[in-house]
Structure 1
């Protein structure tokens, strides 16, 4: 009798293990088959959404302009230290047409058995993935707002899934794309380089609309075919932040920024050349135990001088 009970117990344990394997993430409302389908769609979307950008040399930072008096002045003097102009040469690369969405990021979380959470300051709560309510801050088509480490991990994971050298773009790569390959006509990272108030209808949409909207739905794409460089949230890039690094490296090829630091670069929406540094957490005035975890939007870049088709044709070399 005891032997029979033992065999039954072992059988039940095996069935439980098989059920757990076949029903991966079932407790989160998604089974293994649906997850596989979502992964396949994500990989196809990621590869199909890469925009090839031919490299070149440009003046990165606040390139300013010469006035009628013949004197050069920066466009935005308060940040001239961190946005000091410098010559940069970039190899060709590819950049995602859209920011990473909550649907993309939730697929990543479930595929890696990571908690699907929302954060308020440094506190976390579980949430439902793939939210279809358009009023939700986690609406699946809106850009995901995550920490730098989460953004970095996502791009590398997606690179492993697709067997592509995907990573966060460098600050120089982001700016080159936002300025239509570094054009000095692109003071703002909009579709035409002009401020939004030059387009009343677009300005009203952004000013009166929600903070975040489905990616690519509010402003036109830029000439390279990329959306939301001037809208829908600031973006993480790969570089450590430094106010002096570019002053010490005035001419550089394929810069990745300083080797280390205390803050990561966030590309701003105010000007096409504007960047700020953000730490992982920010102290608040509430209490010493209550701090803000910094979260921003992001997109991935293909770190290869060849377009995806040629990269694949070379066997990924």
Structure 2
């Protein structure tokens, strides 16, 4: 019996040494084998734009992602391939219309590469890109005096600025336009506050959201679309070279040209329903605050470049301009307006991640 016990122990040690403690050489069990979840386009989607943004979830241990797109389910014909992607989305170059495609991902943790995800499929539509009409208004470059000596401290000193030609959207970006971006990228649509969508200015969008929208439109059109610089915004709001020196964008009577606290009844209104300014641009005073591309510095005017300024190199807050449906006036002294975000020179700022019911934006296209 003792010999049998010894024999069983020897056999057990042998098995443990050769099998129980054997290193797992199967890469499917390594940490890199956690693969992303494909998000957009959802599997079997149809009528997808020809430059879609493919989106997936973030994997914690992933250093980068690799993406393949094929016209064959076995990926024998790779039509587009991307390596070392560090983001969780990738906008493709132009695909063929009315064509079935498959896409898949794997990840790298810097040492090992995972297996491929189960592929998703989508079928493109007939249109080359999403069509968004911005009604671009050409703004002839010139020199102008930026700021106000009678305004807030951050509006001083008044300083001379020279700008190149640019074009700016006639209206604030609407829900209809922003929703196209969301539909094309699988992004969650912003809340409309119960006020309706359609032709109302999009709200509850952060600076980051607005910048992503511009990047997406750029990818669709091949033209550089971006947020306006603060200087471009003020020059356009003042009416460019046609400026009449109004307090607000298009006039001195606030209710005539802007949806504000006294007439908006607590909500946004369809874009372009108030009087435009000298260039035919609408709602640069009131309706929604508009994100600009610049970082904010209250002392920036004291050291700003005089030609095409783009704001400080860094910061924590982004510039917002133009006031909103919630803006109001506080008269002081002999009727001087001392508080009103709708003034064309008024400056304000917010964290780029903030989303608000009175924050929106408009776009600029580089010429």
TM-score (structure 2 length as normaliser): 0.57
- Which of 289, 300, 308 in structure 2 is aligned with 1:254? 308
SS at the partner of 1:105?
helix
Residue of structure 1 equivalent to 2:198:
140
SS at the partner of 1:256?
coil
CA contact 2:239–2:277 (8 Å) conserved in 1: yes
1:151 aligned to 2:210? yes
Q: Whose relative contact order is higher, 1 or 2, with alpha carbons under 8 Å and at least 6 apart?
A: 1
CA contact 2:318–2:349 (8 Å) conserved in 1: yes
Residue of structure 2 equivalent to 1:195:
253
State how 1:228-267 maps to structure 2 within 5 Å.
228-249=283-304, 252-267=306-321
1:165 aligned to 2:189? no
CA contact 1:83–1:275 (8 Å) conserved in 2: no
SS at the partner of 1:81?
helix
CA distance in 2, matches of 1:205, 1:266: 16
SS at the partner of 1:208?
coil
Structure 1's 98 and 203: CA in aligned 2 closer, same or farther, altered over 3 A?
closer
Q: CA RMSD in A?
A: 3.1
CA contact 2:320–2:347 (8 Å) conserved in 1: yes
CA contact 1:60–1:182 (8 Å) conserved in 2: no
CA contact 2:286–2:322 (8 Å) conserved in 1: no
- What do the CA deviations read for 1:193-215 (whole angstroms, capped 9, x no partner)? x1326x5xx68997233421111
From the CA coordinates, give the structure whose radius of gyration is larger: 2
CA shift, 1:220, in A, is 1.2
- Which of 30, 51, 54 in structure 1 is aligned with 2:137? 51
1:104 aligned to 2:182? no
Greater helix proportion: 1
Residue of structure 1 equivalent to 2:347:
275
CA shift, 1:190, in A, is 2.8
CA shift, 1:137, in A, is 2.4
CA shift, 1:155, in A, is 1.2
- Which of 129, 141, 146 in structure 2 is aligned with 1:60? 146
SS at the partner of 2:249?
coil
State how 1:19-58 maps to structure 2 within 5 Å.
20-22=44-46, 40-42=130-132, 45-46=133-134, 49-58=135-144
Structure 1's 187 and 223: CA in aligned 2 closer, same or farther, altered over 3 A?
closer
SS at the partner of 1:260?
coil
List structure 1 runs of 4+ shifted beyond 3 angstroms.
32-41, 182-185, 202-206, 292-295
Aligned residues: 234
CA contact 1:180–1:223 (8 Å) conserved in 2: yes
SS at the partner of 1:149?
helix
Structure 1's 81 and 58: CA in aligned 2 closer, same or farther, altered over 3 A?
same
Q: More deviation in 240-249 or 171-180?
A: 240-249
SS at the partner of 1:207?
coil
Residue of structure 2 equivalent to 1:126:
none
- What do the CA deviations read for 1:163-203 (whole angstroms, capped 9, x no partner)? 111100000001001101167742423323x1326x5xx68
Question: Structure 2: which 5+ runs fail to align?
Answer: 1-40, 50-121, 324-341
CA distance in 2, matches of 1:136, 1:35: 32
CA contact 1:61–1:85 (8 Å) conserved in 2: yes
CA distance in 2, matches of 1:140, 1:183: 31
